[in-house]
C-alpha cells in the first residue's frame, strides 16, 4: 500500500539532518509540502535544496517560544496551512549519573525535549489545527521506557514525551490525532557517541541484527501521518530493531 500525503502541509522541527531530515524527505516524496526547521540557516538551506516538491525552511531554536510562533506563522503563510507537525528537535547536553547533573543543563534538556513539545503544538493548534484538524507526531525514545546509565536525564524527558502524547491525544481529539515514535539506537550524529565505538557489538545483541537508520523511523512517521493511521491516537510506536524484546538468540 502506497502512503500519500498529497495536499498536506507538514512542519518538521530539527529537520536539517538525521531523523528529522529523513522524515521531511519521506513526507515530501509522499506529496506533502514541507517546512524544515532547525537552528542553523545554512544547513536548512542545503537540506531544502535536496528535497522534492514544495519546500521551505525557517531557522528557529525549538526551545524559544517566540521563534516557535514565528516558524508556525511562516509555515501557514508560505505553504498555505499546517496539517502535520512533527516534534523531532531534541538536545542532550549532559551525559552521566543524575547525581552529577547541574541545573542549567537539566533545564535546557527539559526546555527543548519536553516544554517545546507543548509550545509547538499550541502554536500549531492556534494557527490551523483547531479549525481544520491535523496530526501531531512526537519523537520519544525507548530510553523513556528503560534505564540507561549514561543518558538518564535525557530519558526522563523522553518518558515525559510519552505521557504528553497521551494527554494531548485526549485533549485534542477528535480533530487532531497525536502519536509518538520511540526509536531505539539510530545511526545519527547526535547519537554518535553511543553507537560508533561499538556498532557491531551492539547490533549483535539486537533481534534484527543491525542498528537503525533514519529512514527506518521516517517510514513509521509516514504511516502515522497518513490516512492509514486514521483510527490511531495516543499511541507510542516503538521502532527499535527489537531492542526491548531482548537479546538475540543464535540458533544452530
Each residue's pLDDT tens digit, 27-43: 999 999 999 999 999 99
154 an active-site residue? yes
What architecture does CATH give domain 9-239? 3-Layer(aba) Sandwich (3.40)
Positive or negative torsion for Cα 206, 208, 214, 217: negative
pLDDT of residue 177: 98
Residue from 78, 75, 112, 76 nearest 92 by CA: 112
Q: Which residues of the chain have pLDDT under 50?
A: 252
Residue 70 to residue 35: CA distance in whole angstroms:
12
Asked if 227 and 171 touch (Cβ cutoff 8 Å), the reply is: no
Asked if 225 and 5 touch (Cβ cutoff 8 Å), the reply is: yes
State the helix-helix crossing angle for 214-225 and 18-29, rounded to 10 degrees.
Answer: 50
Phi, psi of 184 (to 5 degrees): -85, -150
pLDDT of residue 152: 96
What pTM does this model have? Answer: 0.94
Residue 91 to residue 89: CA distance in whole angstroms:
7
User: Which cell numbers hold the place of 153?
Assistant: 536525564
Residue 116 to residue 121: CA distance in whole angstroms:
8
| Per annotation, catalytic residue among 28, 154, 182, 223 | 154
Amino acid at each position: 500500500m502506497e502512503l500519500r500525503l498529497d495536499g498536506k502541509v507538514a512542519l518538521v522541527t530539527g529537520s536539517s539532518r538525521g531523523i528529522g531530515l529523513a522524515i521531511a524527505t519521506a513526507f515530501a516524496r509522499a506529496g506533502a509540502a514541507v517546512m524544515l526547521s532547525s537552528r542553523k540557516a545554512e544547513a536548512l538551506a542545503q537540506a531544502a535544496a535536496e528535497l522534492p516538491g514544495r519546500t521551505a525552511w525557517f531557522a528557529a531554536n525549538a526551545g524559544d517560544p517566540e521563534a516557535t510562533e514565528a516558524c508556525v506563522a511562516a509555515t501557514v503563510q508560505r505553504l498555505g496551512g499546517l496539517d502535520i507537525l512533527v516534534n523531532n528537535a531534541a538536545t542532550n547536553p549532559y551525559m552521566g549519573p543524575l547525581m552529577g547533573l547541574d541545573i542549567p543543563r537539566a533545564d535546557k534538556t527539559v526546555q527543548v525535549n519536553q516544554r517545546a513539545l507543548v509550545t509547538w503544538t499550541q502554536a500549531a493548534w492556534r494557527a490551523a489545527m483547531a479549525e481544520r484538524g491535523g496530526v501531531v507526531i512526537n519523537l520519544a525514545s525507548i530510553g523513556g521506557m528503560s534505564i540507561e546509565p549514561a543518558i538518564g536525564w535525557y530519558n526522563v524527558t523522553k518518558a515525559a514525551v510519552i505521557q504528553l502524547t497521551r494527554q494531548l491525544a485526549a485533549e485534542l481529539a477528535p480533530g487532531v490525532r497525536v502519536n509518538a515514535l520511540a526509536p531505539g539506537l539510530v545511526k545519527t550524529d547526535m547519537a554518535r557517541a553511543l553507537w560508533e565505538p561499538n556498532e557491531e557489538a551492539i547490533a549483535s545483541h539486537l533481534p534484527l541484527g543491525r542498528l537503525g537508520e533514519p529512514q527506518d523511523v521516517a517510514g513509521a512517521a509516514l504511516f502515522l501521518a497518513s490516512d492509514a493511521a486514521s483510527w490511531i491516537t495516543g499511541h507510542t510506536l516503538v521502532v527499535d530493531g527489537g531492542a526491548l524484546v531482548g537479546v538475540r538468540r543464535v540458533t544452530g
